Copies of this chain bind each other. A is one copy, B any other.
Amino acid sequence: MAKSANEDQLYIGIDGGGTKCRATIYSAKNGVLGTGLGGPANPLHGLERTLESIMVSTQLAMRDAGLPLESIHQIYAGLGLAGVNLPSLYEKISEWEHPFKEMFLTTDLHTACIGAHDGGDGAVIITGTGSCGFSHVKGESVNYGGHGFALGDKGSGAWMGLEAVKAVLVDLDGLGPNTSLTGVVKDHFNTDCGMGIAEQMAGQPSSSYAKLARYVFDAARKNDEIALHIVKEGAEYISSLAKRLLENNPPRLSMIGGLAEPLNEWLDPAIAKLVEVPIQPPEMGAIYFAQQTVLEQNQKVDV
């Protein structure tokens, strides 16, 4: 990883997503000094809330590190945020009158990728509530998928949950194949009727659908035809996402998120054996990102 000229220099790495915001304080000399956890920080779902969550996680991390709050002005901050691939949101966050010494902003995918490969080039696939692929090789970033719930995010937890509910509603109407998912989903919603399930799910966020994904994996392992079809279709998409990323020749490929482990056994075996564990979490990726950017700035000044 990159080294700052001043080994005592403090950095904060912040990883902001739809459900929580994590912050880690670090110096090259002393390593991790403290961590903090805040609420949702996806600017797509609210700018004010995002900035508040960033400040909460920052203050908790500073307290954890035993640092006085005034020292915030001496800390370099690296921010990896969901949603800032949209230029309008990138600009809004950039215009924030932040309290840090300097702030370096990029997407949560980029910082996750930097972290997973310990500061080096590589590719990552995120499969949790949503799904997405990202690679950063020789200064070039590319991403695939990640178009959001219902439109895209195939192979994700929310996608699996939605496919399960669709199949159960068809089964309950007697219009399609029977599936053991029907009994499980009826129990989950505590209702016998399709309209009762539809009412409870109408307008729910993707996280409510993602909660059903574990039923699909359970049923697939017991050879339920419908569940097998869903899991195989999802895994096939994730495998093709991996193949597409490998075309960019990343030195490493990692999978991150709650579905990374259960999906592994269903992937194309040639892909599954290539997948390597992420070395560091996204917050550390955000710290490396800030360090690298400071280093580049200093080099420019030196020249």
Interface residues of A (CB under 8 A from B): 85-86, 144-145, 147-148, 150-152, 154, 162, 165-166, 169-170, 173-176, 194-195, 197-199, 201-202, 237, 240-241, 244
Closest-by-CB residue of B relative to A174 is B244
Q: List 27 A-B contacts (CB under 8 A).
A: A85-B195, A86-B199, A144-B175, A145-B173, A145-B175, A147-B169, A147-B194, A147-B195, A147-B198, A148-B202, A150-B150, A150-B162, A151-B162, A151-B165, A151-B166, A151-B169, A151-B198, A152-B166, A152-B169, A152-B170, A152-B198, A154-B166, A175-B237, A175-B240, A175-B241, A175-B244, A176-B240
> Quick one: which of B145, B148, B198 contacts A148, CB cutoff 8 A?
B198
Q: Smallest distance from the beta carbon of A100 to chain B beta carbons, Å?
A: 29
Closest-by-CB residue of B relative to A243 is B175
> A194 CA to B142 CA in the complex, in Å?
13
> A86 CA to B195 CA in the complex, in Å?
9
Q: Smallest distance from the beta carbon of A103 to chain B beta carbons, Å?
A: 24
Q: Smallest distance from the beta carbon of A181 to chain B beta carbons, Å?
A: 14
> A162 CA to B145 CA in the complex, in Å?
16
Q: Smallest distance from the beta carbon of A243 to chain B beta carbons, Å?
A: 9
> A152 CA to B170 CA in the complex, in Å?
8
Q: Smallest distance from the beta carbon of A274 to chain B beta carbons, Å?
A: 18
> A36 CA to B65 CA in the complex, in Å?
70
